[in-house]
């Protein structure tokens, strides 16, 4: 049995998808199925439940035991590699990072490039997801680091704060507020807005600010990602409140008006989360240090 087979099995369980597990390990879906069957034949135990006509990934009782122990083996194997690299002072390996779209698309690229320049033997495996999925993936161990907005204290997780972002108001260039350099919260009352979906932390935070100030807005559209919201504002759906880094340079392009929000509380916190009960790899520690410093 090869260590790669254990990794394929754990990736399949973590990702809940044969196709994604195959993609992550650069093999075919058929190869994933064959490796699972070989494990079941070797240990003479059914590890996954099979439902005719469906590709659900559901562990049997034996499969859960195998998954838990395989995870420990993979962690020990990774630790072995890290220890050997430490002997010669070389930082390498792959750091699996899950991030929300707004941070991953607009803030992480220069930091990933800086990390790769400093540690060319290391690699950042970056994937984009929603906050709830990121928290779940960090807790399950399928990713080592998660980067989220408005990180909440949660049992089993540690958080390292990154630099906060100011929230700004964006408007179509021909909107009545577009010529303003700054607006106060009272100026938002009764306006039409494009907003994030309800489970997005930035939406929850802005809703609370508006409610605390007695402001009511008309929500004309809800979307789950920052790029769609920006496009909707561009074509005139309404206003939106977004993190400032996501619209850097937008005013100069003429596509959007970016307007400062006057009050101090228009701030989005950002943090790196990881499991409290596990030691980060050397590469992951270095990446967190870089994110914290910047």
Q: Domains of the chain (ranges plus CATH)?
A: 1-90 (1.10.10.10), 91-163+269-294 (3.40.190.10), 165-267 (3.40.190.290)
Pick from 7-11, 81-85, 130-134, 146-150: least confident? 81-85
- Nearest by Cα to 11 from 24, 27, 26: 24
Helix-strand-coil split of the chain, %, nearest 5? 45, 20, 35
Going by DSSP bridges, is the β-strand pair 145-149/270-275 parallel, antiparallel, or unpaired?
antiparallel
- As a whole number of angstroms, the distance between CA 247 and CA 111 comes to 18
Q: Is the pLDDT assigned to residue 196 strictly greater than 90? A: yes
> 183 by DSSP, 3-state: which?
strand
Residue 20: DSSP 8-state: H
- State the pLDDT confidence band at 142, using cuts at 50, 70 and 90: confident
- The top-scoring range by mean pLDDT among 39-43, 91-95, 123-127, 262-266 is 262-266
SS3 track for 93-148: EEEEEEECHHHHHHCHHHHHHHHHHHCCCEEEEEEECCHHHHHHHHHHCCCCEEEE
Question: Which one has a higher pLDDT value, 83 or 144?
Answer: 144
pLDDT the model gives residue 53: 53
> Per-residue pLDDT tens for 37-63?
999 999 999 999 876 555 668 899 999
Identify the bridge partners of residue 268 per DSSP, sorted by sequence position.
Answer: 165
Q: Which helix (H) or strand (E) segment is 69 a member of?
A: helix 61-87
pTM: predicted TM-score of the whole model, two decimal places: 0.70
pLDDT the model gives residue 72: 86
Contact 1, 42 (CB under 8 A): yes
Q: Is the pLDDT assigned to residue 16 strictly greater than 90? A: no
Distances 77 to 5, 16, 70, 84 between C-alpha atoms, Å: 13, 23, 10, 11
- State the pLDDT confidence band at 80, using cuts at 50, 70 and 90: confident
Going by DSSP bridges, is the β-strand pair 192-196/267-268 parallel, antiparallel, or unpaired?
unpaired
Contact 209, 265 (CB under 8 A): yes
Pick from 200-204, 207-211, 262-266, 274-278: least confident? 274-278
Contact 171, 237 (CB under 8 A): no
Q: Is the pLDDT assigned to residue 234 strictly greater than 90? A: yes
Dmax over CA atoms of the chain, in Å, equals 71
Q: Is the pLDDT assigned to residue 294 strictly greater than 80? A: no
Q: Is the pLDDT assigned to residue 87 strictly greater than 60? A: no
- State the pLDDT confidence band at 88, using cuts at 50, 70 and 90: very low
pLDDT the model gives residue 24: 86
- As a whole number of angstroms, the distance between CA 125 and CA 95 comes to 6
pLDDT the model gives residue 39: 92
- Nearest by Cα to 261 from 149, 180, 174: 180
């Amino acid at each position: 049995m090869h260590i790669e087979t254990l990794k394929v099995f754990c990736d399949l369980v973590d990702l809940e998808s044969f196709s994604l597990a195959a993609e992550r390990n650069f093999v075919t879906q058929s190869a994933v199925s064959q490796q699972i069957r070989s494990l079941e034949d070797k240990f003479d135990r059914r590890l996954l439940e099979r439902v005719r006509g469906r590709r659900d990934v559901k562990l049997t009782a034996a499969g859960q035991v195998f998954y838990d122990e395989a995870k420990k083996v993979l962690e020990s194997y990774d630790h072995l590699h890290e220890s050997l690299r430490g002997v010669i002072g070389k930082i390498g390996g792959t750091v699996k990072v899950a991030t929300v779209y707004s941070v991953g698309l607009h803030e992480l690229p220069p930091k990933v490039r800086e990390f790769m320049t400093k540690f060319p033997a290391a690699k950042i495996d970056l994937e984009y997801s929603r906050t709830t999925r990121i928290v779940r993936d960090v807790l399950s161990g399928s990713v080592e680091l998660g980067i989220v907005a408005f990180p909440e204290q949660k049992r089993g997780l540690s958080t390292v704060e990154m630099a906060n972002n100011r929230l700004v108001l964006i408007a179509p260039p021909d909107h009545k507020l577009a010529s303003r350099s700054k607006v106060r919260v009272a100026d938002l009352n009764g306006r039409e807005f494009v907003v994030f979906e309800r489970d997005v932390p930035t939406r929850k935070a802005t809703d609370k600010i508006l409610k605390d100030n007695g402001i009511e807005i008309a929500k004309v559209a809800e979307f789950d990602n920052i790029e769609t919201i920006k496009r909707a504002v561009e074509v005139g759906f309404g206003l939106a409140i977004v993190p400032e880094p996501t619209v850097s340079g937008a005013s100069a392009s003429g596509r959007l008006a970016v307007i400062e929000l006057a009050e101090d509380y228009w701030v989005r916190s950002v943090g790196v989360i990881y499991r409290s009960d596990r030691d980060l790899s050397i590469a992951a520690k270095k990446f967190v240090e870089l994110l914290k410093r910047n």
